């Protein structure tokens, strides 16, 4: 509630007055700021206009100079037309000097730069020393050398030429190579006075209001022409004259006073009205900006949703509460083969329903509309394309809720899983064939190794049996003890043969893939008899080293034994070369490296073979790639798959002085919390 003025306290009156005066002060500051800004912007605008005009004048002057120099080159070339005599040439050259005041001297020289004829300007005679101009290091000689190299007219750098009255001018030489019947016949040398170039080649209207000058790259002025300085502010523009053999800088300078802009009453009134208009405009612009921002955000959201829906490979379909289709995306139309016009508005029977399932789908739809919620994980169904082919789909449905929280329909997502089913079937069939092939190959190889290894215990059994029979046939005393010893040896060899057969049988039989806690030593002991079979056949010594007190690993025993066996067999086959000696297979088991996670056990298989070539290393783990004629190329690929399924990694590296080290890791079995 607002209090009357008489009932307000001094503090309230002071606060009200301060608020009112602060608003007026803010308004006054705003007006003053706008006026100052107007004056400043006017000054900046005037300065920019002066600078722009000066740059245009400099560009025009540079263009005029280039055009005049080109005309002079054509006029000088015309002097040599028709192979003129010396006297006629001098007459024509003198006439050209009378017309072109920027030229002060023209010389005709032979191939050795010796002077044949010359002409001098009649407006400004000056002494010229011919001997000094015919030297090999003069500016004219350097220009002619450059022109001969370029095969075109060339200019020299500027130089100072003293006059007879103690003064001097900056000059520049132009050399034109002369050709006769395709051969060099001499040179034509023209001397320019830079001061006269400014006087005659730059427009007089330009030099009346500004100063023109030729300068070097470091700013040294060579020639100056123009008005005297007027004002305190200087504006400058430069134009680069890039001539063959040299470069000149044309500089234009102009001086001006402060901008002639002063505030007045009219400006103040216009400013006040502008403030009022700007205030109204600010309010309107702010409201319009909010509306435009909301429209832009809505358009962006719609465009984003449209692009996202069009890029999906998942089919989308929306239906209202009555079951009418209200929306389908391009992926759904491509999936069923119908256009949006053929699908929108359909309700009781969709054209992509197979006739044999139409009644079932109607009942399911009625259940959905009656309030039955579909499973969030989705359900499978069968749809029919426009050409009549059936294909399986995965359907995921969810209710459509509008901005007011009302249920307005259903949104369905469809995935065509026909290709997935086909790939799964092919993969399952291929996996079964590969497993059968791998087991057959393993059984065949194990049978070969068994036949080789069992020869020894069977031969020993046969020898002991024959010796026992011989002892029984003889009647010598003490033979019974020898027969007993022979029977013990026979039993030991039979037990050895049984252990070999049992270890191979346990390995090759089909087992379920279950993970269990296994000691690393048990994994190694399970495959050592099989490794020893091939090691004795190839003459390989097997060294094993297991770090004490290792924890149990959580793994599939059969698959890990297969990995160890494959790596050991590959290592022994890598040393199957008569030049390799000794042949040592080193198998080590230890904890993971100190810088790795402590919950891993590391297995390493080291051979002393020839190593792995770089071209082989690139495809080492590629399925069906092998370097052996009898190999299938699946061993290392399956090994890496098994190790990665256990969460570990399989790697290799060269071994010094030769050979390769294969390393893989298995996770440690973590104790179950109680």
pLDDT 10s digits, 523-543: 898 888 778 877 887 889 999
What pLDDT is recorded for position 595?
45
- What pLDDT, on a 0 to 100 scale, did the predictor assign at position 228? 59
**If you search the block for the tokens 């399956």, which residue do you land on?**
638
For domain 62-254, the CATH class is alpha beta
pLDDT digits (tens, 9 = 90+) for 61-106: 888 888 888 998 898 888 888 788 888 888 888 898 898 888 888 9
pLDDT band at 13 (very low <50, low <70, confident <90, very high): low
Evaluate whether 325 touches 316 at the Cβ level (below 8 Å).
no
Query: What angle do helix axes 418-453 and 479-508 make, rounded to 10 degrees?
Result: 170
Residue 374, Cα to own-chain centre: how many angstroms?
45
Note whether 173 and 156 are within 8 A (CB). yes
Q: Are 641 and 572 in contact (CB under 8 A)?
A: no
With b for 16 or more beta-carbon neighbours within 10 A and e for fewer, the 532-544 pattern comes to bbbbeeeebebee
Which ranges constitute the DSSP H helices of 80-151? 86-99, 130-133, 139-150
Instruction: Give the residue with greater pLDDT, 673 vs 384.
Output: 384
Of 132-141, 174-183, 571-580, least confident by mean pLDDT is 132-141
At 31, the pLDDT band (50, 70, 90 cuts) reads: low
Q: Which CATH number fits domain 514-674: 3.30.420.40, 3.30.565.10, 3.30.300.30, 3.40.50.300?
A: 3.30.565.10
Percent of the chain with pLDDT over 70: 74
Q: Which of 475, 479, 477 is nearest to 467 (CA)?
A: 479
Element (H, E) at 449: helix 418-453
Per DSSP, helices labelled H in 100-135 are 130-133
Q: How many residues does the chain have?
A: 674
- Choose among 406, 403, 361: nearest CA to 380: 361
DSSP string, 252-307: EEEEE-S------HHHHHHHHHHHHHHHHHHHHHHHHHHHHHHHHHHHHHHHHHHH
Query: Would you say residue 6 has pLDDT above 50?
Result: no
Q: Specify the pLDDT at position 631.
A: 60
**Which pLDDT does position 496 carry in this prediction?**
61
pLDDT average, residue stretch 181-191: 84
312-416 topology per CATH: Beta-Lactamase (3.30.450)
| HSE-CB for 605 with a 13 A CA cutoff | 20
pLDDT tens, residue by residue, 346-369: 776 788 888 888 888 888 777 777
Task: Answer yes or no: is pLDDT of 277 > 70.
Answer: no
The mean predicted confidence, pLDDT, of the chain is 77
Q: Which residue has the higher pLDDT, 493 or 96?
A: 96
CA distance 581 to 331: 66
Where exactly does CATH 3.30.450.20 map onto the chain? 62-254, 312-416
Of 71, 69, 93, 67, which is closest to residue 81 (Cα–Cα)? Answer: 93
CA of 506: how far to CAs of 177, 233, 503, 623, in Å? 101, 103, 5, 27
How does DSSP classify residue 388? S
pLDDT digits (tens, 9 = 90+) for 406-431: 888 878 888 888 888 888 778 767 76
Q: Rounding to the nearest 10 degrees, give the CA dihedral for residues 503, 507, 509, 511.
A: 130
Using only the alpha carbons of the chain, give its radius of gyration: 52
**Are 580 and 608 within 8 A, CB to CB?**
yes
Better-scored residue on pLDDT, 23 or 590: 590
Share of the chain above pLDDT 90, in %: 7
Mean pLDDT in residue range 636-649: 83
Tokens of 262: 């002063």
CB contact at 8 A, 186 and 86: no
For CATH 1.10.287, list the domain ranges present in the chain: 419-510
pTM over 0.85: no
Kindly list the distances between the CA atom of residue 467 and the CA atoms of 461, 481, 490, 492, 495, in Å, as whole numbers in the listed order. Answer: 10, 13, 11, 16, 19
Higher pLDDT, 325 or 664: 664
Q: Would you list the DSSP string of 155-192?
A: EPPPEEEE-TTS-EEEEEEEEEEEEETTEEEEEEEEEE
Residue 662: pLDDT band (50, 70, 90) is: very high
Q: 406 Cβ partners below 8 Å, 6+ apart? A: none
Give the model's pLDDT for residue 602.
93
| Residue 262: predicted pLDDT | 43
Looking at per-residue pLDDT, the higher value among 494 and 199 belongs to 199
**What pLDDT is stored for residue 264 in this prediction?**
45
**pLDDT, tens digit, for every residue of 497-529?**
676 666 556 555 544 456 788 999 998 988 887
Q: How many helices (H) and strands (E) does the chain have?
A: 17, 22
| Mean pLDDT, residues 142-157 | 87
Please give the average per-residue pLDDT across 234-251, as a whole number: 86
Distance, CA of 225 to CA of 230 (rounded, Å): 15
Residue 226, token pair as written in the block: 């123009």
Quickly state the pLDDT bin for 589 (edges 50, 70, 90).
very high
The residue ranking higher by pLDDT, 553 or 486, is: 553
Between 120 and 415, name the one with better pLDDT: 120
Three-state DSSP state, 81? coil
Q: Which fold has domain 419-510?
A: Helix Hairpins (1.10.287)
Residue 20, pLDDT > 60, answer no
How many angstroms separate the CA atoms of 199 and 192, rounded?
12
Question: Are 101 and 121 in contact, with CB atoms under 8 Å apart?
Answer: yes
> What is the rounded distance in angstroms from the CA atom of residue 206 to the CA atom of residue 460?
123
Question: How does residue 7 score in pLDDT terms, banded at 50, 70 and 90?
Answer: very low
Comparing 277-291, 314-328, 535-549, which segment has the lowest mean pLDDT? 277-291
> pLDDT (tens digit, 9 = 90+) per residue, 299-321?
888 888 878 777 777 888 888 88
């Amino acid at each position: 509630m607002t209090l009357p003025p008489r009932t307000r306290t001094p503090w309230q009156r002071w606060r009200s007055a301060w608020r009112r005066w602060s608003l007026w002060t803010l308004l006054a500051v705003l007006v003053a700021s706008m006026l100052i800004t107007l004056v400043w912007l006017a000054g900046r605008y005037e300065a920019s206009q002066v600078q722009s005009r000066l740059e245009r004048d400099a560009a025009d002057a540079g263009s005029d100079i280039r055009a005049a120099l080109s005309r002079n080159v054509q006029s000088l070339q015309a002097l040599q037309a028709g192979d003129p005599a010396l006297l006629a040439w001098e007459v024509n050259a003198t006439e050209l000097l009378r017309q072109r005041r920027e030229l002060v001297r023209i010389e005709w020289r032979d191939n050795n730069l010796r002077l044949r004829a010359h002409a001098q300007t009649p407006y400004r005679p000056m002494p010229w020393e011919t001997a000094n101009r015919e030297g090999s290091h003069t500016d004219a000689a350097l220009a002619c050398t450059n022109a001969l190299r370029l095969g075109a007219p060339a200019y020299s750098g500027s130089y100072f030429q003293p006059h007879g009255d103690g003064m001097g001018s900056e000059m520049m030489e132009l050399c034109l190579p002369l050709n006769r019947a395709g051969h060099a016949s001499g040179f034509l040398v023209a001397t320019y006075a830079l001061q006269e170039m400014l006087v005659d080649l730059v427009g007089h209207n330009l030099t009346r209001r500004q100063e023109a000058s030729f300068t070097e790259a470091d700013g040294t002025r060579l020639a100056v022409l123009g008005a005297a300085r007027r004002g305190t502010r200087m504006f400058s523009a430069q134009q680069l004259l890039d001539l063959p053999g040299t470069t000149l800088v044309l500089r234009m300078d102009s001086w001006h006073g402060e901008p002639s802009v002063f505030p007045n009453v009219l400006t103040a009134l216009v400013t006040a009205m502008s403030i009022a208009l700007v205030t109204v405009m600010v309010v309107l612009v702010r409201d319009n900006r909010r509306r435009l921002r909301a429209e832009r955000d809505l358009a962006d959201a719609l465009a984003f949703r449209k692009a996202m829906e069009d890029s999906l490979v998942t089919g989308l379909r929306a239906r209202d509460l009555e079951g009418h289709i209200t929306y389908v995306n391009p992926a759904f139309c491509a999936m069923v083969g119908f256009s949006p016009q053929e699908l929108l508005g359909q309700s009781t029977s969709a054209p992509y329903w197979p006739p044999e399932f139409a009644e079932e789908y109607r009942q399911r739809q009625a259940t959905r509309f009656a309030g039955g919620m579909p499973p969030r994980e989705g359900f499978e169904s069968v749809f029919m394309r426009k050409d009549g082919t059936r294909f399986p789909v995965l359907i995921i449905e969810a209710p459509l809720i509008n901005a007011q929280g009302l249920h307005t329909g259903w949104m369905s997502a469809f995935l065509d899983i026909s290709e997935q089913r086909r790939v799964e079937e092919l993969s399952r069939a291929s996996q079964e064939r590969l497993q059968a092939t791998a087991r057959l190959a393993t059984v065949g190889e194990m049978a070969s190794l068994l036949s080789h290894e069992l020869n020894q215990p069977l031969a020993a059994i046969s020898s002991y049996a024959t010796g026992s029979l011989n002892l029984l046939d003889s009647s010598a005393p003490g033979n019974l003890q020898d027969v007993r010893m022979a029977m013990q040896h026979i039993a030991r060899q039979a037990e050895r043969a049984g252990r070999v057969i049992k270890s191979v049988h346990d390995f090759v039989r089909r087992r379920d893939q279950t993970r269990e806690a296994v000691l690393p030593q048990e994994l190694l002991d399970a495959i050592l008899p099989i490794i020893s079979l091939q090691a004795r056949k190839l003459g390989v010594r097997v060294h094993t080293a297991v770090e004490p007190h290792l924890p149990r690993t959580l793994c599939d025993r059969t698959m890990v034994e297969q990995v160890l066996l494959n790596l050991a067999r590959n290592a022994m086959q890598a040393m199957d070369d008569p030049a390799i000696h000794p042949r040592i297979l080193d198998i080590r088991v230890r904890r993971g490296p100190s810088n790795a996670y402590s919950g891993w056990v590391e297995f390493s298989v080291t051979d002393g073979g020839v190593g792995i070539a770089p071209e082989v290393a690139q495809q080492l783990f590629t399925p069906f790639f092998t370097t052996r004629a009898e190999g299938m190329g699946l061993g290392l690929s399956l090994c890496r798959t098994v190790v990665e399924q256990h969460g570990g990694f399989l790697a290799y590296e060269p071994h010094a002085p030769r050979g390769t080290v294969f390393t893989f890791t298995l996770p440690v079995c973590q104790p179950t919390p109680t």
